[in-house]
Structure 1
Amino acid sequence: MPIETKHTITPGTLASARQPTLRSPDGELVLRRPEFGDAQTVHDAFQDPVLRRWHARSMESLDEARAWVETAHETWRRETAAQWLVTRAADGAPLGRMALRAMDLMEGLAEIGYWVLPEARGRGAAPRALATLTDWAFGTGFHRLELEHSTRNEPSCRVAHKAGYPLEGTRLSSALHTDGWHDMHVHVRIQGLSS
């Protein structure tokens, strides 16, 4: 059966260009495509117990980190996800990662994913980087962006609110973490609606 609706974002729009480098409005943050030289940073990030508590994946070797970078490049080409390394503009120091996961160009939907390195936490990098990514995504044509986090992850809840993502609701027992099932807060931004 034919589909009556058109793609919200025309297929090929993203893949036809190199993944963009984004700058926060204050000029202090740069969001750029991860490169193979970032493998050590990515590997080290996943050794942090705080990050590991909220992420189901582990990263045991530099080879796994390099494979993660290659996957980031491939998912951009396939238009299924986009990963950015967040860095400080002044010196290029890595601060964390922002992502659009599970991108659906037909519906114009994507899930937000992110992590912040321990030395960058509590300094406002995550909400500013998230706001920067959100502006780019809406400018590209995405309609709805979702951010989920465990109800036990209060720092992520603060990041969502600071970046203008109101709480839409709670999904009960919807994510399996290493310590069991977690309820998940769902925060949402919708194109054209004020936060």
Structure 2
Amino acid sequence: MINDIPPVVPPGRMAALPQPEFTLPGGMLLRPWRTPDAPALVASYEDPDIRHWNRPPRRTPAEAEAHIARYHALWQTEEAAIWAIAPPTGPALGLIGLADLDLRGGSGEILYWLLPAGRGAGATVAATTRITRWAFDELGLHRLRITHSVHNPASCAVATKAGFPLEGTMRGALLHADGWHDEHLHARLRTDDAPA
């Protein structure tokens, strides 16, 4: 019976699009990852906050370069859309993306992290807001979600400021280095009002 329901986003639609680039308020860019950005992936493991909340693997520079190539492949296979958050002339300082994409069902999950050098200027909120607009208006998704540990108030603030209201708490939903964490679930629909 589900095959009688047309897909929300037709297969091949995302892969046919070039990955866009965006300029954020304040001058930061969202752009595809590049090989020279590999040190940012290596550094993401070294930052204790990113390591705790996002659980990135330890990577050598060569492994980071291979992972950047995988980001480009995930776009083509329509499994994920991953951008670098970067200054106009420098390497990446962070990551934002859409993962767990279900184009047939019209949903995905926003994930993000930012190295200390990029924090404090609202770049993550601006990036989340911009990627949300693209996902709804250009790609055609219906629902986006953000999940994070209940002990991570910074991520909670990003979700709320970007217009993702809290829907509930998922008990024991994600294993961190210090044990199982309850997770907040924030979500937004294409039909919701944009944040002020």
Normalising by the smaller structure, the TM-score range is over 0.9
Q: 1:55 to 1:2 in 2, by over 3 A?
A: closer
Point out where structure 1 has 5 or more consecutive residues left out of the alignment. none
| Structure 1 consecutive aligned stretches of length 4 or more whose deviation exceeds 6 Å | none
What is aligned with 2:117?
119
Distance 1:62 1:92 in 2: 17
Structure 2 letter corresponding to 1:81: A
Identity of aligned residues (%): 39
The number of residue pairs the alignment matches comes to 193
Distance 1:64 1:92 in 2: 21
Point out where structure 2 has 5 or more consecutive residues left out of the alignment. none
Q: 1:4 to 1:94 in 2, by over 3 A?
A: same
Q: Alpha-carbon deviations, 1:142-183, whole Å to 9, x = none?
A: 110000000000100011111111101100001011111000
The alignment status of 1:189 with 2:188, answered yes or no, reads yes
Residue 14 of structure 1 aligns to a residue in which SS? helix
What is aligned with 1:11?
11
What is aligned with 1:80?
79
Deviation at residue 32 of structure 1 after TM alignment? 0.6
Normalized per residue, the structure richer in helix is: 2
Task: Check whether the contact 2:54–2:113 (CA below 8 A) recurs between aligned residues.
Answer: no
Task: Check whether the contact 1:46–1:59 (CA below 8 A) recurs between aligned residues.
Answer: yes
Task: Check whether the contact 1:75–1:81 (CA below 8 A) recurs between aligned residues.
Answer: yes
Distance 2:65 2:92 in 1: 16
The alignment status of 1:159 with 2:153, answered yes or no, reads no
Distance 2:160 2:2 in 1: 40
Structure 2 letter corresponding to 1:191: R
Distance 2:23 2:142 in 1: 21
Deviation at residue 27 of structure 1 after TM alignment? 6.2
- Structure 1 range deviating more: 33-42 or 155-164: 33-42
Residue 59 of structure 1 aligns to a residue in which SS? coil
In the superposition, the TM-score normalised over structure 2's length comes to 0.93
Structure 2 letter corresponding to 1:122: G
Structure 1 letter corresponding to 2:86: T
What is aligned with 2:51?
52
* 1:98-117 alignment, distance < 5 Å: 98-117=96-115
The alignment status of 1:37 with 2:29, answered yes or no, reads no
Q: 1:2 to 1:9 in 2, by over 3 A?
A: closer
